[in-house]
Amino acid sequence: MAKLYFYYASMNAGKSTNLLQADFNYRERGMATMLFTAAIDDRFARGTITSRIGLTQPATAFDALTDIEACVLSRHAAERIACTLVDEAQFLTAGQVDQLARLADVHDIPVLAYGLRTDFQARLFEGSARLLALADSLVEIKSVCQCGRKATMNLRVDHEGRPVAEGRQTEIGGNDRYVALCRRHYCAALAGTEPVSAG
């Protein structure tokens, strides 16, 4: 029976790298996959999953109106899809996560979703919340704080490296806008009691 997996982590933990490795493993064995990434993430080429270590792969860009289930089933009718992989899964709607669950449960197509658990204010994203509720398997990808402990929080910083506590939930950025920290250093940075180090 196929499963829905949610691989979650803080920023810069290697989620896209892990996804691209999993995709490569399927394709190396002659199995077709279908990749999705959030259309809102415009840091690199639209419709491309790009890891920080330079790996890239074309993907179908999704937004809130994309029927992911229909996209996969349409392609599955032409060639058997062995696995569906979703990058930036925090940007999925709850309904789209339900679609991913149906792909696994009804159509026996495994789904591997990779994304952030929480935003810069330590609040769950809609997609992540639904994945935490529905996924058959929850896998944390480890990242490291400036102190060496596990990083679980995403601190947003301004252009001068100062912590940002307010703003829109979604603001695309990389190391220039976000720092992965343990909870202790995240809280200390917001309180202004300890400096932030981007590494």
Q: Which of 88, 160, 171, 194 is catalytic?
A: 88
Residues 104-143, buried b or exposed e (16+ Cβ, 10 A)? bbeeebbbbbbbbbbbbeeeebbbbbbbeebbeeeeeeeb
The CATH classification number of 4-140 equals 3.40.50.300
187 is in an annotated binding site: no
Which pTM value belongs to this model? 0.90
Domain ranges of the chain: 4-140
pLDDT tens, the chain, 199 aa long:
999 999 999 988 999 999 999 999 999 999 999 999 999 866 666 778 888 788 889 999 999 999 999 999 999 999 999 999 999 999 999 999 999 999 999 999 999 999 999 999 999 999 999 999 999 999 999 999 989 999 999 998 888 878 787 767 666 555 568 899 999 999 999 988 776 665 4
Annotated catalytic, 79? Answer: no
13 is in an annotated binding site: yes
129 is in an annotated binding site: no
Decide if 146 contacts 181 (C-beta within 8 A).
Answer: yes
What's the rounded Cα separation, in Å, for the pair 166 and 62?
A: 27
What's the rounded Cα separation, in Å, for the pair 125 and 89?
A: 9
